[in-house]
Chain A
Amino acid sequence: MPSLLLEIGCEELPAAACREAEAQLPELARAHVGAAASQLFVGPRRIGFLVDDLPERTADEWVKGPPENLRERAAAGFAKKHGVSVEELEVRDGFLGVTVPGRELREVLPEQIDRIVRGFSFTKSMRWDASGMRFARPVRWVLAMLDAETILGETSFGHRFTHGPVEIPNAAAYADQLRAADVEPVADERRRQIVEGLDVVGGWRDPGGKLAEVVHLVEKPIVLESRFDERFLQLPERVVVTTMQSHQRYFPIEGNRFALVANGGEADVVAAGHTQVLEARLEDATFTFERDVATGIDALAERLGSITFFAAAGSFAEKADRVAKLARRLGGGEASLEAARLAKADQASELVREFPELEGYIGAEYARLAGYPDAVTKAVEEQYLPDSAGGPLPQTEPGKVLAAADKLDTLRVAFELGHRPSGSRDPYGLRRAAIGLVRLALEGGLTIDRELLPEDVREFVEERLESLLNVPVEYVRAARASTASDLGAVARRAEELYGERESPEFEGVYTAFDRAHRLAGKAQEAAAAELDRGLLVEDAEKALAEALAKVAIDGNGDLKAALQSGAELAPVMERFFDEVLVMAEDEAVRANRLRLLLDVRDTLGALGDFSQIPR
C-alpha cells in the first residue's frame, strides 16, 4: 500500500505556531486521511507528515435511508439523492439504504488535504491574499505525493538562500532529499543537533528556556561559539545573561563566552556579526545601567507615585506604603521596612522597563551600590520568592517578611477589585502568591496572623493548605475552623488532630462535640443568648456547667493538654444526656439547655470543627 507525503510550505512560522501545528498534525491526519502519521515534519518553513500504507481505496460506506415501511413515500427521493434507482436500494434491519462504494485514493486526496490545510487552528492567525484563507503565516506551496506520484504541487523547496526547488522522487525519500538541500525537516532531529553542538562547545546554560524556540528559528542549525569584550563583565551577570537570551536567543557559557545557533552563512562572518550585535546591546545595557545607578535607588523610589501597580489599584508608591505596613504587622524589623520602601523602586528604572525579568534582582543591585546593608538588599532580591510552586524560599528573615507582605498585598488588592482567579484564568498569579504565602508560613516559619487576611482571601489562601499538607482534607477543614491565630498554627492543628485521631482523649472530645452539635447545632435560634445558671434545675446539667467552666482550651496551645481537659466533659455529657430532657416543656429552661450544649460545642470547637471529620 502506498505512502503519502504532505508538505505545507509557509513563510517563517513563529515557534509557538510550530508547536501548535505539531500538536494538531496527528489528529488532522487521522481525521482526514484516516491513518496515523509515521513521521511529522515541523519547522519554520514547512509543516507536514508521512503516512505509510494508506489503502488504495477508501472503505465502502452504508448510508441508511428511510424505514422500509415508508418505501412508497420516501424511497424515490432517497434513491434520487444518491443517484441510484429505487430497485437498487437494499434493506438492512428494516431500513432502506444504499452502499456507497469507496473511492479511489487519488480522487479523494485533494479534498482531504485541503481539509487538513484549513483544519489548523492557531492562537494568532492572519489573512494574506484574496482567498481569505487563514494561517499563522502565509502558505506558499503545498506538496502531496503518493509514493512517486505527485498529487498536489510540483516540488519542495530547500534552504531559503542556498537551494531552490527540490525534486522529491517519492514520498519516502522526502526527508533525505531535503537534508541534501540544507534543511532538517524533523524538529527533534534539529534539537538533537543543536544540543550536540552546544555540548561540543561545553558549559552552556539556558536559564531563559530559549532552546525550544531556537529549534524553530532555524532549518539547518549551525552552533557557533564566540566571545564578547571582557569589559562587559563589569555589568551584573544577570544583566549580561538576560541581554544575551531575551533579545538574541544566545546561550551563555562562563566568562565572556557564548554560543549561538545560526541558520547558515560563513561561520566566521556570522559569528563576528552576532558578536558585534551583542556588544552593541551590552553597550546599550551599560548606558542604561549607569544611568539608573547615577539616578540612584532612592530617587527611583520617589518616582513610583507615577507608575500604576495595576489598574484601579493605585501606584507602586501606594503599594510600597501598604507593603511596609504589612511588613510591620508581620513582625518585620528595620531592615524589612527599609526594604519595603525600596522594593519596587526598580519598577521606575530603565533597565526593568527593558527587561522586566530583572525586577527584584536589579533593585537589589542598585540598593547595594547605594550602600544599603546586606539585610536590606537581600530582602529586595528575595521579595518575589518563591516564584514557583516548588521554588526556593527567601533565606533571610527580612526577605521572608517582605515576600509575605508583598504577596499578601497583591492578594488583598486583587480580591478587593474582584480579580478572583476562575478556572485556569489567573492573570495576576494569585494562586502562586497564595501558595507562596502558605509555604512562607509552613516551611519558612513565618508567623502570618490570620487577621491580616480578609475573609475571602483567607478562604482562598487556606484552601491551598489542603493540597500542601500531607493530611486528609477533612482534618485541614476542621483545623481551619479552629481559633488558631496564624497560618502556621492552622497547619500544625490539622497535623496534630490527625495524629491524635485514635487517642481516647480525641474520642472523648469528638463524642462530646458531636452530641452537642447534633442536638443543638440546628436549634441555634431557639437557644438563649447566654447561659443563666439560675435556670439550671437538674443535678446533671449543673454538673455539666461546672465541668465546662473548668475546661481550659487555648486555640493556639498544646493539643494534647487541651484534649485531656476537654475529654473531662465526656462522662459528664453522658450523664447529662441520660438524665436531662433538653427539649423541656418550659421554654426558658429549654433555651437555657440548648445554650449550655452550644457552649460545650463552641468551647471544644476552638480546637477545630470536629463535624468535618467523618467517623
Chain B
Amino acid sequence: MIIALERYWADYGCVLMQPYHTELAAGTMNPNTFLRCLGPKPWNVAYVEPVIRPLDGRYGENPFRFQHYFQYQVVLKPAPENVLDLYWASLEALGIDLRRHDMRLVEDDWEQPTLGAWGLGWEVWCDGMEITQWTYFQQLGGFDVELVPAEMTYGLERLAMFLQGKRTAFELEWARGVTWGDVYREAEREWSRYNFEEAPVEVLTRRFDEYEAECRHLLERGLSLPAYDQVLKCSHTFNLLDARGAISVTERAAYIGRVRRLARGVAEAYLGADEEDAVAAA
C-alpha cells in the first residue's frame, strides 16, 4: 500500500522523504510540511510519518485507539486546479473502485493552536470510513500562506482495514503471516504505561523549559531549522505531561501559548531566511 502511494506520488513529481527523527503528533508538524509550506517557493512532497499521541494510548486493549500509528502525508504547494482528481486517482492506484463505493468529502476544518495554524477541508469518507484528512492551509505559525498548499493525510491503518476487509487494526496483515497486533500491540501496552504512569513529571517539566530556552537561543542565532526541532520537542513534552495528568486547565492554555509563540518565532525566522535566499539568488 505504501509502495503504491510512493510510486503514484513520485510519478507525479513529489519529493519522497523519510519520516522525521523526533516525535510528532501529526505529519503536518514535520518541517517538510510546516516550514516548507511557508514562503513563496513551490514544494511537492510525500512521506510516511509515524505519529505519537500519548493521550490516545489504550494499553493495546482498544483496537481503534493507539498512541502510535502511521500517516501518509502528501503536500502539493501550490495546490493545482485538478488536485482533487489527483487524489481520487491515488485511491484508484490503491485498487479502490470509486464507482463501487460511496466516496464523500465531509466538511472537517483543521486547527492546530500550538502551531498557530488552520485550514479548511474535509475528511474523506469511503463507505463511511474516514480514510484521509484533506486540508487547504490558510495560516501557519500565525502567517497567511503565500501559495495555498493542499495537504492530504492518509490514515494508513484505516485505509488498510478497508482494503483488507479487517474489523480491527490488530488483525491487519502487516506482512504475510504477520499481523499489526504481532508487531505493535506489546509496544502499545508498554508505551501506554510509560505515557500514563511512568513518564517523569519533574524531569519533563524541566526539559520543556530547557527546550524552550534553547529554541529562543537558536532563534537569536538565526538557526530556524534547529530551533524548530526544539518546538517539536516542547510539543511532545507537553503532550506527555498532559497524558500524565500533570497539567491543569489554566496551565494548559499557558503551555499552548508558549509553544505557539515559539512556532511563530521559527516561522518568522524561516521566512526571513527565505527572503534572504531570494535576495541572494536575485
Contact = CB atoms under 8 A, between A and B. Distances in A.
A295 to B, nearest CB: 13
Contact of A161 (B64, B99, B127): B99
B248 interface: yes
Nearest to B144: A127
A128, A162, A218 interface centre (most CB from chain B within 10 Å) = A128
A161 B148 contact: no
B109 interface: yes
B246 to A, nearest CB: 10
Nearest to A126: B120
A284 B65 contact: yes
A561 B161 CA distance: 79
Given A129-B81, A129-B148, A308-B250, A265 B127 contact: yes
Interface in B65-101: 65, 78-79, 81, 84, 88, 98-101
B102 A128 contact: no
Nearest to A125: B120
A128 B148 contact: yes
A3 interface: no
A264 B99 contact: yes
A280 B104 contact: no
Contacts of B64: 280, 283-284, 287
Interface string A5-22: 000000110111000000
A140 interface: yes
Interface in A269-288: 269-270, 272-274, 276-280, 283-284, 287-288
A274 B105 contact: no
B168 A270 contact: no
B122 interface: yes
Contacts of A140: 81
Chain B residues touching A, majority SS: loop
Instruction: Indicate the size class of the contact surface on chain A.
Output: 35 or more
Contacts of A15: 107
Given A140-B81, A277-B127, A128 B101 contact: no
B199 interface: no
A246 interface: no
Interface in A130-156: 130, 136-138, 140
Contacts of B129: 273, 276-277
Contacts of B168: 280, 283
A128 B99 CA distance: 28
A306 interface: yes
B248 A262 contact: no
Nearest to B84: A11
Contacts of A277: 127-129
A162 B138 contact: no
Nearest to A16: B107
30 contacts: A11-B84, A12-B105, A12-B107, A14-B107, A15-B107, A124-B120, A126-B136, A126-B138, A126-B148, A128-B148, A129-B78, A161-B98, A161-B103, A248-B128, A260-B128, A264-B103, A265-B103, A265-B127, A269-B127, A270-B102, A273-B126, A274-B127, A276-B127, A276-B167, A278-B128, A280-B167, A284-B62, A284-B64, A306-B248, A307-B249
User: Which 9 pairs, one residue from A and one from B, show the smallest C-beta to C-beta distance?
Assistant: A273-B127, A14-B107, A12-B105, A308-B249, A262-B102, A274-B128, A277-B128, A265-B102, A270-B102
Interface of A: 11-12, 14-16, 44, 124, 126-130, 136-138, 140, 160-162, 217-218, 248, 260, 262-266, 269-270, 272-274, 276-280, 283-284, 287-288, 306-308, 315
Given A16-B107, A127-B148, A269-B101, 16 more contacts: A14-B107, A124-B109, A126-B119, A130-B147, A137-B120, A265-B99, A270-B102, A273-B162, A276-B129, A276-B167, A277-B129, A280-B167, A283-B167, A287-B62, A306-B248, A315-B249
